Amino acid sequence: MYQKKAIVTVINDLNTDMRVHKTCLCLKKAGFDVLLVGRQQKASLTMENRPYSTHRMRLLFEKGPLFYAEYNIRLFFFLLGNKSKLYFSNDLDTLLPCYIHHKIRRIPLIFDSHEYFTGVPELEKRPFVRKIWKLIERSIVPHIRNFITINDSMAGLFSGEYKREVKVVRNIPYKRDYLISASREQLGLPPGVKIVILQGGGINVDRGAEEAVDAMQYIDGAVLLIIGGGDVIEQLKVRAQKPEVSSKVIFVPRLPYEKLYAYTVHADVGLSLDKDNSINYHYSLPNKLFDYIMARVPVLASPLPEVEKIVRGYDIGEIIESHDPEHIALKISQMISDDNKTKGYKANLVKAAAELCWENEEHRLSEIIAKYV
């Protein structure tokens, strides 16, 4: 049976982006022959088997303006040489080539913005580069019929700026039963101590990671487990060499979701400490929050509106009042020492995990895709 082809574009590593993976599965379920296009870095994990096709481009540059320019040029010519009935562009940094082909070849385009790209701290500190990305955004976004983003606050921001409807599809994991698939010993985790976890593919500047490391000097009977990658990882490793924290911080490289979950379920507290110092972070709804919920891990989070709404709404953890390391340490210590509160959080996490799952969210994306089947 003939299947329409959908090309899905993303600029990051294909292995660890679960939102894009769920998008591809949704497209496949709708009847599309899916091709996911991304990049391959020197440190990229081997691509796991997927029920759809993938293509990773090796680039000369891995970061900076030349990286973005090279990726977009390469993507333009890749799309030129591959027929498709639908483009699905993830984030502003893959949008321009897709939009050009959409206009010239009259191929439908869906745009999924995972963040307020022009408001990330890295661009706010580089006004000229931010101006270029903003020009691209303002030139294209008002003309896109199908615009998706990650939460209500972000949708309101884009809708107010561009006077158009923006649909919300949250990045929520599949429902799963609580399961410990590997022991602490098998994972190399120390026995007899509480585990505080900070995970994510983008452990970057202003995510609260530095303060989390510093906080460990004030905490007894616990270790901080940092899993993932990002632009502050090497700095964190240097910071963690200080005598007062050197035995309390463990680093694990970025992992595929299933292997990551095996670690997460052993945690006693999950950290989501993004700082409210950029418009993108202010309206963010980090993936790790839902990963903690699905692993039934109580959450300690910063007071970002979308995050606080979930943490307080389901009563699954605590909210910090500042990023002072001593304050973070106090909050963590209270959470890991109060057994009664932990039992309450765990009971509420069961309800949150049952409701905040992809099975309850997927229909939003399916309705958008259905227009092109």
Indicate if 270 and 367 belong to the same structural domain.
Answer: no
The half-sphere exposure of 78 on its side-chain side, counting CA atoms within 13 A, is 23
Indicate if 133 and 231 belong to the same structural domain.
Answer: no
243 burial (CB, 10 Å; 0-12 / 13-18 / 19+) is exposed
Indicate if 267 and 330 belong to the same structural domain.
Answer: yes
Q: Who's near 105: CB < 8 A, 6+ residues apart?
A: none
Indicate if 328 and 260 belong to the same structural domain.
Answer: yes
**Residue 98: inside a domain:** yes
Indicate if 314 and 274 belong to the same structural domain.
Answer: yes
Q: Is the pLDDT of residue 32 over 80?
A: yes
Q: Give the residue among 175, 263, 183 at the shortest CA–CA distance from 225.
A: 263
Indicate if 21 and 128 belong to the same structural domain.
Answer: yes
Indicate if 231 and 148 belong to the same structural domain.
Answer: no
Q: Which residue has the tokens 């309800």?
A: 351
What secondary structure letter does DSSP report for 179?
-
Taking residues 342-346, report their average pLDDT.
96
**Res 211: pLDDT:** 98
**Res 1: pLDDT:** 42
Tens of pLDDT, residues 127-145: 999 999 999 999 999 999 9
Indicate if 285 and 266 belong to the same structural domain.
Answer: yes
Q: Give the residue among 113, 183, 120, 172 at the shortest CA–CA distance from 141.
A: 113
Residue 367's CATH number? 3.40.50.2000
**Res 29: pLDDT:** 96
Tell me the percentage of the chain whose pLDDT exceeds 90. Answer: 84
Indicate if 273 and 345 belong to the same structural domain.
Answer: yes
C-alpha angle 295-21-372 in degrees, rounded to nearest 5: 130
Tokens of 334: 């209270």
**Res 155: pLDDT:** 97
> Would you place residue 169 in the very low, low, confident or very high pLDDT band (cuts 50, 70, 90)?
very high
Indicate if 47 and 116 belong to the same structural domain.
Answer: yes
Taking residues 345-363, report their average pLDDT.
97
**Residue 330: inside a domain:** yes
Taking residues 7-26, report their average pLDDT.
91
> Would you place residue 212 in the very low, low, confident or very high pLDDT band (cuts 50, 70, 90)?
very high
Indicate if 196 and 279 belong to the same structural domain.
Answer: yes
Tens of pLDDT, residues 306-322: 999 999 999 999 999 99
What secondary structure does DSSP assign to 258-286, as a single string?
HHHHHHHTT-SEEEE---SSSHHHHT---
**Residue 179: inside a domain:** no
Q: Who's near 161: CB < 8 A, 6+ residues apart?
A: none
- Work out the widest C-alpha separation in the chain, in whole angstroms: 64
Calculate the alpha carbon distances from 265 to 183, 269, 349 in Å: 10, 10, 12
pTM value is 0.88
Indicate if 168 and 200 belong to the same structural domain.
Answer: no
Give residue 233's domain range: 184-355
Backbone φ and ψ of 183, nearest 5°: -80, 165
Q: How many domains does the chain have?
A: 2
Q: Facing residues of 6 across strands?
A: 34, 86
